[in-house]
Structure 1
Amino acid sequence: MKIARISTKGGRETYALVSPEGDGGMATRDEVERQAGVKLPAALEDFVFGDYAQKVTTGKISYAHKPGEFRLLPPIRRTFKIICLAFNYSDQASWVRFGKSPPKDPVIYLKPRTSLCGPADDIACPKSVTQLDYEGELAVVIGKECRNMSEETALGCVAGYFVINDISARDVQFIDKQYTRAKGFDTFGPCGPWLTTKDEIADPCDLRLTTRVNGEVRQDSSTKNLVLKIDRIIHSLSKVMTLEPGDIISTGTPSGTVLSLSSHVKYLQHGDVVEVEIEKLGRIKNRVTFY
């Protein structure tokens, strides 16, 4: 099932189910409740984490709306932690800088939830930033509390997946020598377009990931190239911190960022359009604006 957080033309925030037929049709929460005859919670998180998806038969739903009728919002808002991984793609040579071999445990930093924005929202960046970069990534949403999970049971904690772009101010990153401020600006986490529940994704470590800037392909990889797979990531993180429903794990980015390309590729400029697409999960498309 695909569930989108939306804002209606009247400004009311709610959520909608996306047609399983892949035609982009949508049905709002109120419509699903009426058609399915099931009382639904007001919040998307309660719908997902409360297993309401099991109570709704999608075949009975009429998907009368198109996504363009709504503003799509970040799929998850009720998150305590956004945990991001570095050096986690075998085709991303930057891990050589970390220790000349791929990491055996997650190398992480935290991103504030206020950095999240919708799949079509502008990426708003202060003019003081001179090296703005993109990082197309697979985001994993935790669905239930987990602590000290084994690798064998780790995927049982997952609620679903979505696309995220871990926008980075490289000049700030180089000054600070750590990542939080460089990646923590408001709107530096465009994501969506909706949450795809885990039952729709047979293998999250076999999805094509593509990033384009103004239509030019910059990243063309697959989650097959993850150094640490999702079960290993959750296992390792849960030994350090309790993972809670709504926590987001951004699993790292492949080769093709401006930082990893040759010097003739420019950092993002005002008006650039960045698209990140992941097979079976959808696409986000965001315009860069400097202010």
Structure 2
Amino acid sequence: MKIVVFGPERRAGALVGERVIDLNRGLAKYLSERGEANAAEQAASRLPSRLLSLIERGPAGLADAQAVIDHFIKLSPADDRGAPTVVHNLNDVKLHAPWPERRIACVGGNYAAHLAGMWANRLGKTEVSVEQITEEAKKAGQWGFWKVPAEVAGPNDTIPFPKRVTYFDYEGEIAIVIGNRGKNIPAERIREYVWGVTLFHDWSIRDGGGVDRVVSYNLQKNFDGAVSMGPCIVVGELDQQDIDADTRVNGVVRQSYNTSEMIWSFGEVLEYLSRDFTFVPGDVIAGGTSAGTAADKSRRGPDGKRPLDLFLKVGDVVEVSSSKIGALGNKIVASD
């Protein structure tokens, strides 16, 4: 099941081929056709129009969603004449980020191939195998950061180029959306907590971040347009540790990897972060990025500076995609 957020009211829908089914209105119409009283009220309770409320409904909400999909799957938008509309052409609606407006945790340094390039730049380590990098990273322990956006960009939204930046980078990622409340969660119970999987873009500032500190504001990862997600959340179909991901800049492949290559699995990350910390439905964990970013591919010159050719510029179009999820494209524009 592919869940999207669409339209001016940012309603939860199901993406089925080239159609979007409004789940809440679909259930209301389905119940009304069966002659049930208070169909709209029942639908509002059982299959809410807001994404977060749908996630919080758990398995019962997904069962109702599947019933709506099964009922309307053969109905074309042209034949859906009764108001309000339930079945829409995908091209006729605006897809928004499927962000439940909860917290976003991001894993850092979670792919050895990416670390190889970063270590070559920062530490001068060039003759290190992927196995050695993985071992060293495991010994050093997990690290990451939180993204704290007020808004998250969705498919085809623009990303403003931060004014204070010279080196602006792309990081295509896979993220999980949490479906159950929990704390101190063992890694082996990860499947109980994953509601779905989506594409995630961790836009990053690669200019110097100032003095290194144990705790910081982390401004390189937090600015307007620092996150995009979409086009959908795939629910109940995927193994989060076996998802392919590609990143293209102006149509050229820059990244290509699989989540099976993660140093720390999503389960291990959830176990680490949930120590004395409660995760709630709608929280997001992004699993990190692999090799191919501008930062890990651009070697510093004798003057210590990196060439700009691989870093992003105004007008660039960046697309993160997966054969199992879809594509998330964004264009870089000048900041206001």
User: Does TM, scored on the shorter chain, surpass 0.5?
Assistant: yes
> 2:223 is matched with which residue?
185
Identity of aligned residues (%): 29
Partner SS state of residue 264, structure 2: coil
Matched, 1:44 2:51: yes
Matched, 1:102 2:137: yes
Partner SS state of residue 153, structure 1: helix
Q: Post-superposition shift, 1:34?
A: 3.6
Over 3 Å counting, the alpha-carbon distance change for 1:70 and 1:87 in structure 2 is same
> 2:70 is matched with which residue?
59
For 2:99, give the aligned amino acid. I
Alignment counterpart, residue 266 of structure 1, candidates 310, 316, 326:
310
Mapping of residues 117-128 of structure 1, within 5 Å: 117-128=153-164
Following the alignment from structure 2 to structure 1, what is the Cα–Cα distance between the partners of residues 311 and 217? 17
Q: Post-superposition shift, 1:266?
A: 2.7
Q: Post-superposition shift, 1:240?
A: 4.5
Scaled by the length of structure 2, the TM-score of the pair is 0.78
Following the alignment from structure 1 to structure 2, what is the Cα–Cα distance between the partners of residues 179 and 88? 21
Partner SS state of residue 185, structure 2: coil
CA-based RMSD of the aligned residues comes to 2.2
Over 3 Å counting, the alpha-carbon distance change for 1:160 and 1:243 in structure 2 is same
Structure 1, unmatched stretches of 5+, are none
Over 3 Å counting, the alpha-carbon distance change for 1:276 and 1:200 in structure 2 is same
Q: Is the 8 A contact 2:159 2:330 kept in 1?
A: yes
For 2:108, give the aligned amino acid. A
1:228-248, Cα deviation, whole Å (9 max, x unpaired): 111111111111521111111
Structure with bigger gyration radius: 2
Matched, 1:290 2:326: no
Following the alignment from structure 1 to structure 2, what is the Cα–Cα distance between the partners of residues 159 and 204? 11
Q: Post-superposition shift, 1:63?
A: 6.0
Q: Post-superposition shift, 1:151?
A: 1.8
Q: Post-superposition shift, 1:155?
A: 2.2
Matched, 1:196 2:203: no
- Which range moves more in the overlay, 236-245 or 174-183? 174-183
Partner SS state of residue 102, structure 1: helix
Q: Post-superposition shift, 1:180?
A: 2.3
Scaled by the length of structure 1, the TM-score of the pair is 0.89
Following the alignment from structure 1 to structure 2, what is the Cα–Cα distance between the partners of residues 181 and 164? 19
Matched, 1:73 2:96: yes
Over 3 Å counting, the alpha-carbon distance change for 1:179 and 1:91 in structure 2 is farther
Structure 2, unmatched stretches of 5+, are 32-41, 78-87, 124-131, 300-306
Following the alignment from structure 1 to structure 2, what is the Cα–Cα distance between the partners of residues 227 and 120? 31
1:183-221, Cα deviation, whole Å (9 max, x unpaired): 111111011101111x111x2111111000000000011
Following the alignment from structure 1 to structure 2, what is the Cα–Cα distance between the partners of residues 117 and 169? 17
Following the alignment from structure 2 to structure 1, what is the Cα–Cα distance between the partners of residues 146 and 105? 5
> 2:85 is matched with which residue?
none
Following the alignment from structure 1 to structure 2, what is the Cα–Cα distance between the partners of residues 44 and 34? 17
Mapping of residues 9-48 of structure 1, within 5 Å: 11-19=8-16, 23-37=17-31, 39=43, 40-48=47-55
> 1:167 is matched with which residue?
203
- Which range moves more in the overlay, 186-195 or 237-246? 237-246
Q: Is the 8 A contact 2:108 2:144 kept in 1?
A: yes
For 2:96, give the aligned amino acid. L
For 1:32, give the aligned amino acid. G
Q: Is the 8 A contact 1:114 1:187 kept in 2?
A: no
